[in-house]
A and B are shown apart, each in its own frame.
Chain A
């Protein structure tokens, strides 16, 4: 999410900020009747109680921690009054304003050594710690659940080196994604990851969550592009795994454990990543289509005729289009008309290559084919950079548009492409039956909109259910039903957003007991005390 949008969200008066239903302990729900994979299912809306094995942070702890830090501004706390609760809200609250931690201490070390010293001290004194990057996560994974100490990578913000021959970038974990990309652009390279939050998210966090983003189709996953990591382990040990080698088969590939580990087995402090040459020719076209089947056909066609130059294929439904247009009218001064003929679905095709004529010819052939065979209702091709950005904004602004329209229940699912949209239809049906949704949604709610969009190229669907407020009643209708229908299709309940605190209880819907047990063992090896990012991920 852009920093401008975040500060807009921050300026909401507290009494208007949405709060979840009061937390209370509840008995674990019985396991679902689909194949029994799971551990205790905990209703998502209730958060686990504070563990008695963690020490409560005090002023004494604060004094020692301060001793490790070179700069006094690296430490903020309500315990000694160096900060107020409001100052810490930006660290304690998540981007969606759904999760609100009560962490009294924020530490922002300036070097890996400082971070290691703080981590070691916390470990020796049984102080729970939650690592935090840009705090743009969508599953409450980077905020304290109770009073965990927030360990922020924000001040680890140096680009260490870049090799223009191999394209290998070595940088600190706290470098903002957009900053890294701008640096690379100067050299003619591109960061192999792009997502809506690029103005605020940090690359360490991106790696820790194995972020997917808008161009996974083209650049692949971080599991493939990250070459090495430097991380601080829960006991404070600094692990230097910062290789810049493209090929190195000497032992277990440890970095793969950390990629996507969501800060539970170590805090990533630096990464080395292989960056591709920046494409010099980019094109984007958006289409309106009559049905989901039509979108799939166009996707097939596009892959076939564009081949290696296809760099993104996104789709969204008419409800999404309606929501984002409304958002643009209300908050961004409106947007020029795109389509003469609107449709039930929309898709965006982007091409990226090194030769403009070659790409334009391929794209032109595809467009002609789509039009003459009536595979699309209407379409628009960007004629300049400004139009390129405008057309992308219809897709990129969807999360922001939802957030502004109400309290969002966000789901990020992976199922076979053919089945993707049926999930949206089923959840709408369920909300209709529960009497919460009327038609496509009403302004007053309870449910204002249910929108489906996503990275069709990766089989990844995002469902946003926009409600008038976060309410346990709504949550009970949606969860675990939505996870059940995903499991029915052998899908993933979290394609790219991760587990965090929101989906940790539901891992059983996507992973069997053997797998979960192996994961627990790994966590035990690195963090026997369980104090690094507790209550989340593998519980």
Chain B
């Protein structure tokens, strides 16, 4: 751990290319995974992380000196990095793996650690979990490996002078406020990008949550920014370049759908309902 200057923070935002939130998941034919031949996009929690990094810089341009998007994934993961660049990240790092490789959270954490050792970052903002595996463990493991402070499920993040950080966390009982110092890992929850943010898009709101005060809205990628993003640098690395080995330690034995609910019958109309209730001697 080294002392940090009050300004000029380099922010690292790991982003994962995962199955699109709106896609209906189906079990793969071999029963060992899900059908991945569907639309993919940036993990929503990572999108919130990118948004938060950009907002930190917008709030205080002297605070953040660079925002780097990092992804470990197949060739197509470069699209996810480009989305981050189109939202406002400055440059990207892509660690490539063959298609359909599963990279376990511990390997991801190792990879991020190597990247941090190679370049210098003071703040890592990452999603609390990926919506495809829901492991939610990378952030914690990374903090342990680096021996950095961590604040997970952040719903509010404030970075002040002299590297002081205040994070509001969502926990079961309510909200918890933590204070820490950079360098630090922060994992994002849904309600980050809260206060000054725009609320959830109407359509997503109706499907995602019943609470209208739920907020957090990552910005759209605007055309001018998409064009600028094309010129931003993405460094491509292979795992071997960083001395990484992604061999999985876990084997997925089987994946199956939850048991279908049985019982309950549909009735065509009120008369049938009345008849069935009478049958069941409830009327």
Binding site for B on A (CB under 8 A): 71-73, 280-281, 285, 287, 328, 332-340, 367-368, 370-372, 376, 378-387, 389-391, 393, 397
Contacts and interface: CB of A to CB of B under 8 A. Distances in A.
Contacts of B83: 383
Given A378-B222, A393-B202, A386 B22 contact: yes
A256 B32 CA distance: 51
Contacts, number: 108
Contact of A336 (B42, B199, B224, B271): B199
Nearest to B20: A385
Contacts of A381: 220-221, 223, 226
B62 interface: no
Nearest to A339: B222
A336 B198 contact: yes
A367 B212 contact: no
A335 B270 CA distance: 40
A385 B223 contact: no
8 contacts: A72-B271, A336-B217, A340-B222, A340-B224, A371-B223, A381-B220, A381-B221, A393-B201
A336 B39 CA distance: 23
Given A334-B198, A379-B222, A381-B221, A390 B22 contact: no
Which interface class (under 10, 10 to 19, 20 to 34, 35 or more) fits B? 35 or more
B224 A371 contact: yes
A390 B198 contact: no
Nearest to B204: A386
Contacts of A280: 39
Interface SS majority for chain A: mixed
Contacts of B227: 367-368, 371-372
A393 B205 CA distance: 13
Given A340-B222, A371-B227, A378-B223, A386 B21 contact: yes
Contact of B198 (A72, A335, A368, A393): A335
Contact of A333 (B86, B199, B220): B199
A343 B219 CA distance: 19
A114 to B, nearest CB: 14
Contacts of B21: 384-386
A285 B200 CA distance: 19
Contacts of A333: 199-200, 202, 205, 212
A337 B193 CA distance: 14
B96 to A, nearest CB: 17
B203 interface: yes
Interface in B229-269: 268-269
Contact of A385 (B23, B199, B224): B23
A383 B83 CA distance: 7
A340 B228 CA distance: 15
Contact of A334 (B199, B203, B222): B199
Most buried by A among B202, B219, B226, B269: B202
Contact of A71 (B44, B47, B269): B269
A334 to B, nearest CB: 4
Interface centre among A336, A372, A387 (most CB of B within 10 A): A336
Nearest to A383: B83
B41 interface: yes
A211 B203 CA distance: 25
Nearest to B40: A384
Q: Please name the 5 residue pairs, one residue from A and one from B, whose CB atoms are nearest each other, closest first.
A: A385-B22, A336-B198, A384-B41, A379-B223, A390-B201
B271 A383 contact: no
A371 B225 CA distance: 11
B202 A384 contact: no
Contacts of B269: 71, 73
A334 B214 CA distance: 11
A339 B205 CA distance: 20
Nearest to A370: B223
Given A328-B202, A339-B222, A387-B201, 17 more contacts: A332-B202, A333-B199, A336-B201, A368-B227, A376-B223, A379-B222, A380-B220, A381-B223, A384-B20, A384-B39, A384-B47, A385-B23, A386-B22, A386-B203, A389-B22, A389-B203, A393-B203
A296 B226 CA distance: 24
A73 B41 contact: no
A397 to B, nearest CB: 8
A84 to B, nearest CB: 16
Contact of B204 (A287, A380, A389): A389
B41 A390 contact: no
A281 B23 CA distance: 12
Contacts of B42: 383-384
A379 B225 CA distance: 10
A337 B219 CA distance: 8
Nearest to A392: B203
Contact of B221 (A336, A383, A389): A383
A332 B205 contact: yes
Contacts of B203: 386, 389-390, 393
Nearest to A397: B202
Contacts of A340: 222, 224
A398 to B, nearest CB: 13
Contacts of A367: 223, 226-227
B41 A383 contact: yes
Contacts of A336: 197-201, 217, 219-220
Nearest to A185: B24
A295 to B, nearest CB: 16
A289 B205 CA distance: 29
B12 to A, nearest CB: 21
A333 B20 CA distance: 24
Q: Which of A72, A338, A376, A381 has the most CB of B within 10 A?
A: A381
B130 to A, nearest CB: 14
A72 B268 CA distance: 12
Contacts of B212: 333
A92 to B, nearest CB: 21
Contacts of B86: 383
A419 B97 CA distance: 54
Contacts of B22: 384-386, 389
Contacts of A386: 21-22, 44, 201, 203-204
B29 to A, nearest CB: 15
A385 B18 CA distance: 12
A367 B60 CA distance: 32
A382 B41 CA distance: 10
Interface string B78-91: 00000100100000
Contacts of A378: 222-224
A335 B199 contact: yes
A336 B220 CA distance: 9
